[in-house]
Amino acid sequence: MNTNQKTRNLTFLGVMLAITIILDSTPLGAIPMGSVSATITHIPTIITGIILGPIYGLIMGTSLGFVSLIHAATRPASPIDPLFINPLLSVFPRMLIGVAPYYGYIIVRKVLTLVKVKGPARVSISAAIGGVLGSLTNTFFVLGMLYILYAKQVAEKIFGSSDMIKEVQTLILGIISTNALIEAIVAGIITSALVVAYKRVIDKNID
């Protein structure tokens, strides 16, 4: 990698981190979708992984984790937010958000190449699948770690009894079947549009 490419990558990483901080600290980080909201704070991490590769995706995912940790420590918005001060819950689950989309993108591109899909359509579809995968990675790892580490505490804080573990399981399944799916679809659409635009304007590699 030459110096110009490295500088461009670091600049892109810095811009994505700045956007992440803005999304996390303002209402822009959630899109109202009827009775639920779709969180989009993790989308810059997904895009970074797809465009710059898994190493930068890992760096960006780790950075997102620390942004979440700081948010939990300084601006808790729900009874369970203080639990995210634990890096195993706030940082570790998010480290793969920028890695999984890259490999999803690459694999889908190869499959589409085999079936003769080329140009913007191939990039768009591959990026959309990568976006969906990145969003689901965020949801499953965060909720999974939350349940593994703090199931009883969540039951106590939300339902008033640490014995109500089944209710916590039902709550998590409800989140996965509603918010998680909506967020994944939104992430796929936004990621696809932005990756295609980036490659047309900057990367020039739209085929």
Tell me the pLDDT tens digit for each residue of 167-188.
888 888 888 888 889 999 999 9
Q: What is the DSSP letter of 78?
A: S
What is d(CA 32, CA 49) in angstroms, rounded to the nearest whole number? 26
The CATH number linked to 21 is 1.10.1760.20
Residues in the chain, overall count: 207
Domain of 135? 3-203
Model pTM score: 0.90
Beta bridge partners of 32: 37
Q: Judging by DSSP bridges, how do beta strands 36-39 and 30-33 pair with one another?
A: antiparallel
Contact 94, 39 (CB under 8 A): no
Residue 31 DSSP SS3: strand
Q: How many domains does the chain have?
A: 1
Give the max Cα distance, the chain: 58
Beta bridge partners of 154: none
**Statement: residue 77 has pLDDT above 70:** yes
Q: Which residue has the higher pLDDT, 68 or 158?
A: 68
Work out the pLDDT band at 202, boundaries 50, 70, 90. confident
